[in-house]
Structure 1
């Protein structure tokens, strides 16, 4: 009989859940992980024991097949920690990655590890990231793919250098001494982080990691640098960069943090017009006026070279009512300026910006210096006056104007953020951000050029390492021309899958804002830029011959050799000859090192395999949108015209349960080591690694991820409830060998076949969840399956058959076969998330040899044979009838009632007949499903029903051939209290005499005596 699915499992079970009765069937349906404990299970799924103490009951206790297992219900404290570490050793966690790399596999899954920074102890951000990656890797390995995952560390950079040196005076140290201290510090941080990652159960070959300070890695990085240089993408220039006085180095955009609470002294200053623009000389009354500008960086005024206007905007010369001063400003800014000045501004003349061209202004702090009025597209009308003070040395847009109009780029600020001698005696040696700004304001006031000053709270860039403000100043640096790469990078991103998709906009926006990338740093701890400079001219010597030679040396000796080896070795005669350069004595080696974002951004070239050097996935926090994701994309597109990744997964940050950023100063940092091993304070329990992993898996990682006692306690409780179910399954499989005693699905009870069908659906949902990096969906699917389909439904129904049928009976073996499949499926389902628990269960589970491990045995096994036509309709039709039955006896025990089911001849009647062939039965599959004392199946209700009979009616819709035939069948039920007595062995109401065994139990006990 080919019947299509009639009602979805969810619909049927949800409907049945509305009619709840303790101990019966489809009850208490919820997506939470609360286990319903049917009355007949008494002590719960894990430890079922009879509660009666009377002599009639106790004498048959040994004949009941109760669960037996050594699997513990709960592990806490040191026992939990010891067990997890024991599992790691017994089950070969350390060798698992190497084992799967050696086996044959049709497909590879490559997750490229973004290198964590080697500057401190492991933190919860590491846990979130590494465990998230490991869950996916373990899933892919279980499903038969060969996983390519090489952990790495980003080892260079200023934070490591600063921490390694502490308060030590670096002026007394050579670059090699600094590098040695930094290397030792980084190696210590790597060791601590690696030990933590291993303890969390992260699968990898921990003896084969990559480090950005390894010579082989550095050589691969220089190869990328060379290829980009050969394509003209790398160049040296003197232009404004973000400069950190506190670090004394240039910074890239990705190394900035913006402080929204920064306070600057904003000023309105006047630039008196000394040469009238030719196009407005004929306007009367405009013989003398001043151009009004606004800036939040007064210290840049001495470096001013021009005032810019917007060509298409409208400008007005206005007269102050209070003092008659004439000022030029954008027309649309006059009202706000009038309010700010507290006086009326009367319009004298109005004209377009283009008419201002050719005008010259007097510099407000430098006598006899005149600066031009120039058009510029970056001028806006949102703030200020619509006229922009332009200092090419101290602004990116300003520099563009200088390049267009050939203005001088005069830097008046040194590497310490102080005015140089060129700024004049009044400003020399003053810090530009503090006393320097104050002095400039004072000079403007003395010269009559200061109209107003005020505090301005605004977002300002800070050095992400030192947390100090940066300045923009020109410096001779090495750059990558990212403007020429933008279109290619944007096209490459279109082919990349991004989770969540909303992150794509941020990636594209950051890419669009980046016109060039400063890749040189003035530090010692990094990969040297392989460039030599002519002693006299300062010209750079860099080409394929010099870089290739240096890369070869780095691969053999490491980059320390840049300082260790003599120039004759770094720049040998044959290289000089190929470079058509003069003698080696004419050259000196460069002092700059590469930006660490270039270090890590070249990791695809050093780590990914040549066969298809694109990773299936990059998985990092959202801060890498402007960092590693982008530097990797730019370098890969530049060299290979493609992205280094097929998909990007962007997760949020770990925060406190209040949603606060963690900070040592606030004392709200959650230490993953304390989470796993417990704290010195007894109030901080040892949760173990699996609780930490469950927290990661359960969280919505695409937002900020909260962690704290509530989240961790919830994770622990959920795992303990899961252990309860696993213990129940293991206990009821005692003595069962699936290899010899499993029942063919075609011979199983319908309810057992139906559970295999549900298990298959469950496995497909779980597989989809893992494939989407959505382990939270996996957990929700698991919890629903256990709570709804197992605890409240299947476990309640099979109790009698499982405990009271003969041990070798077909019905019991059928049930055990399904329980073993469920145990296997659930255990494999949780394995990527809870590898320690999964392997612990596998050690207790039947059906495999000593020494076998779960992770070497594959993914969830399900078969299309488990889906049989008519199976769902039969069981779900029965569920619909039981729903009506239970609703007629709310709060009562179904086992105390006889049930008569009346269905007109047709498909539904035939389906119910497949569950109960005889008219009346207490042990049919239909009686088991109803959990009633006795069930009678008939085509019409008898007329002589007892007066206390409860009558109810319902209907069930059957779809045939995918909806071609639809048949809704009505049914009626009659419910009466049973007259039978309770059997002292099985406790069902199937005995004809009080305290005597029912026929089924009598027969079984007699045979075993």
Structure 2
């Protein structure tokens, strides 16, 4: 806590308090090394300030009235108020710099001064703080930088400080100098917030340097207008992008690094004036095109700045100039990528973009851009690029073309650690991709392969695909597929569900919503396939004759399902999809999935009454299963009673005869036998389980609506379990059921 002697009292204080001499301004700083760069002392214009006298040594100090109590406690002495003023009355005061002889610094108003800590008077070094720099800009103060790029004092700081590291011995030396000149009032250790470098974890020295800027304030309105025509997914990211754009009043495009694309500028040796114009830039562009951007550092300046370019630029001899050392901000590099890639894609390409991308959903199949609309369909990146690539691309494109470079922005999240934190090299919580794919050194880190979803989800998917592939062994859909109209109703119904799934998953990909695509996939696999269809068709697959209509009908549905699921996972699980395609039937060896098109669903799969017939049967099935909780449905005979009407006709399409063990309705119910009647019989056994329900039939968009009641009776079957098909349809436990007996006899 140093003090600076007021060598010129503010005029208004002199007029109110005569005879005051030796008044010092008491300031407080947590960065003593910045004091040599002090250019002013700032006060809050609307605050109250007091002249106080120390009880222990009669020293006169100027402090904020609000801070008197804290200062007295800190200094360990009473402070007597001699006079009180408003901050604005301090205007015109001039202090003596505490460490630099003959240097004077003014008292200046500033709104960033607070009363939370310190003395209410703030040491101001414009070269080392943004608030301080703002004060210097407003009052045209000198911005002298006494610190070099290595964080050491330069010769401007004087011989005592030159070459000392500001964060260590430099700080100690400044404090020592304050003590020697009697300017240090109080020294204490404190902990406070300070910027640190995220890579090295070392404190950052803030210092000024000459940079190249783009004035984005003039572009913001145009950029905001252009964004209104851009689709943002998710839409919630739009407000974040607009807020970041609004906060950016300028864009510093120069960086001081040893790598990157150089800024092609030359500087005059004496004046430091920059030489950059269309002539110099065109010449450098030609050199970069021929030799690459590294030639900026490798070629002699005479080649970079030849005589003819100097003449066109009306500049002096080449010996007057040096090449610039700064490189372009990488976000300017990547932000200008649209200029290189958003061109018409038809020049000399033997394979049209449409055929190359034919496996994608239709909205994603377009060429990247056309001459008539040179915008990308989508830019895809993580949410951190809302202030990076997305924004730099927008600003550069709007500046040059008055339009956004993209039609859509797709913003995704990140893989996070087990603590939910973003993975970062600096934090050391990054998982090695090789370990994810191949596994770690011990069993606790299994390998997940190149395609990664949650392990349980991908295992479920792989098991589903294995079931489909296994049951399609030996099936060739090109010659053995069954016409949809001849397929079993439940197989046709699955094609209907496959079509619905195809539409939903295609819509999800068209919205670039991979998460929704995965949820749709999981629902189809878990609910429609595993829990429903697969459990019903196993008897037909395993026990029917190999080339029977029923089995081929089922395989026709399975092949379409396999094909649809495989294509739908290709964008997110390409390796698995291609592996499945290599073993799937229906195409020649050596073909690849990624040149064979997107999901091929057909409107033919929708038949009037089909959905209602199967879903009506499923409603009856749910009532039946809920009446025997925990029991095996295969051990029961089921009687379904429906009064004559539409629902009865639909059930008759699944079972034409009054009683059957092999009808489509019996298969759907997974029971030993189904009796279909218009009324429950009176002679039901006493152990029969009765229940009732209704099913709403809605056809032709609501034109036909019928609330149809049904009754069911569930009775334990008297039949025995067949040793071959394991259904309860045999006369005794030691003989085959009639169906299996016929099949075995034919085989022999």
Please indicate the TM-score interval, normalised by the length of the shorter structure. 0.7 to 0.9
Contact 2:717 2:728 in 1 (8 A): yes
1:878 aligned partner: 617
- Inter-CA distance 422–831: structure 2 relative to 1 (3 Å threshold): closer
- Inter-CA distance 603–784: structure 2 relative to 1 (3 Å threshold): same
Please say if 1:617 is aligned against 2:375: no
- Inter-CA distance 597–342: structure 2 relative to 1 (3 Å threshold): farther
CA distance in 2, matches of 1:685, 1:471: 42
Indicate the SS of the match to 2:153: coil
- Inter-CA distance 989–528: structure 2 relative to 1 (3 Å threshold): closer
CA deviation string 1:296-354 (max 9, x = no partner): 3221112111122343x322316478657665455665676677667777776555433
CA deviation string 1:951-991 (max 9, x = no partner): 12233334455557764443221111112233333332223
Indicate the SS of the match to 2:41: strand
Contact 1:531 1:542 in 2 (8 A): yes
CA distance in 2, matches of 1:333, 1:859: 73
Give the CA deviation at 1:846. Answer: 1.4
2:29 aligned partner: 295
CA distance in 2, matches of 1:981, 1:749: 27
Q: Find 1:719's aligned residue among 441, 458, 477.
A: 458
- 1:386-465 paired onto structure 2 within 5 Å: 386-463=120-197
CA distance in 2, matches of 1:833, 1:484: 41
CA distance in 2, matches of 1:915, 1:338: 96
Please say if 1:868 is aligned against 2:607: yes
Contact 2:2 2:186 in 1 (8 A): yes
Q: Find 2:643's aligned residue among 904, 907, 911.
A: 904
- Inter-CA distance 973–1001: structure 2 relative to 1 (3 Å threshold): same
Indicate the SS of the match to 2:586: coil
Contact 1:920 1:934 in 2 (8 A): yes
Give the CA deviation at 1:820. Answer: 0.7
Higher relative contact order at CA 8 Å, sep ≥6: structure 1 or structure 2?
1
Q: Find 1:573's aligned residue among 290, 293, 307.
A: 307
2:265 aligned partner: 531
Pick which of 847-856 and 661-670 moved more. 661-670
Give the CA deviation at 1:555. Answer: 0.5
- Inter-CA distance 402–890: structure 2 relative to 1 (3 Å threshold): closer
- 1:216-235 paired onto structure 2 within 5 Å: none
Structure number with greater Rg is 2
CA distance in 1, matches of 2:18, 2:232: 62
Please say if 1:687 is aligned against 2:426: no
Please say if 1:540 is aligned against 2:274: yes
CA deviation string 1:405-430 (max 9, x = no partner): 22222222233222223323332322
CA distance in 1, matches of 2:185, 2:412: 49
1:729 aligned partner: 468
CA RMSD of aligned residues (A): 3.4
- Inter-CA distance 533–792: structure 2 relative to 1 (3 Å threshold): closer
CA distance in 2, matches of 1:634, 1:502: 21
Indicate the SS of the match to 1:470: coil
State the aligned residue count.
Answer: 719
Contact 1:736 1:846 in 2 (8 A): yes
Contact 2:609 2:699 in 1 (8 A): no
CA distance in 1, matches of 2:59, 2:155: 35
1:642 aligned partner: 403
Indicate the SS of the match to 1:761: helix
- Inter-CA distance 595–838: structure 2 relative to 1 (3 Å threshold): closer
CA distance in 2, matches of 1:295, 1:637: 44
- Inter-CA distance 484–302: structure 2 relative to 1 (3 Å threshold): farther
- Inter-CA distance 340–888: structure 2 relative to 1 (3 Å threshold): farther
Contact 1:316 1:347 in 2 (8 A): no
- 1:132-531 paired onto structure 2 within 5 Å: 268-284=1-17, 287=20, 289-311=23-45, 313-317=46-50, 319=52, 323=56, 327-330=61-64, 351-381=85-115, 383-463=117-197, 466-501=200-235, 503-504=237-238, 506-531=240-265
- 1:847-858 paired onto structure 2 within 5 Å: 847-858=586-597
CA distance in 1, matches of 2:174, 2:203: 19
CA distance in 1, matches of 2:106, 2:427: 52
Contact 2:55 2:80 in 1 (8 A): no
Pick which of 793-802 and 831-840 moved more. 831-840
CA deviation string 1:245-268 (max 9, x = no partner): xxxxxxxxxxxxxxxxxxxxxxx4
CA distance in 1, matches of 2:512, 2:71: 54
CA distance in 2, matches of 1:850, 1:409: 74
CA distance in 2, matches of 1:376, 1:928: 85
TM-score (norm 2): 0.86
Give the CA deviation at 1:587. Answer: 3.4
2:337 aligned partner: 603
Contact 2:730 2:737 in 1 (8 A): yes
Indicate the SS of the match to 1:475: coil
Q: Which ranges of structure 1 fall in alignment gaps of 5 or more residues?
A: 1-267, 699-714
Contact 2:198 2:426 in 1 (8 A): no
1:743 aligned partner: 482
Please say if 1:915 is aligned against 2:641: no
- Inter-CA distance 595–740: structure 2 relative to 1 (3 Å threshold): same
Q: Which ranges of structure 2 fall in alignment gaps of 5 or more residues?
A: 345-370
CA distance in 2, matches of 1:735, 1:582: 84
Please say if 1:673 is aligned against 2:434: yes
- 1:798-877 paired onto structure 2 within 5 Å: 798-877=537-616
CA distance in 2, matches of 1:656, 1:275: 61
Give the CA deviation at 1:551. Answer: 0.7
- 1:754-833 paired onto structure 2 within 5 Å: 754-833=493-572
CA distance in 2, matches of 1:974, 1:743: 35
Pick which of 297-306 and 769-778 moved more. 769-778
- Inter-CA distance 841–355: structure 2 relative to 1 (3 Å threshold): same
Contact 1:316 1:348 in 2 (8 A): no
- Inter-CA distance 476–797: structure 2 relative to 1 (3 Å threshold): closer
CA distance in 2, matches of 1:841, 1:540: 62
Contact 2:154 2:163 in 1 (8 A): yes
- Inter-CA distance 637–327: structure 2 relative to 1 (3 Å threshold): farther
1:175 aligned partner: none
Give the CA deviation at 1:543. Answer: 0.7
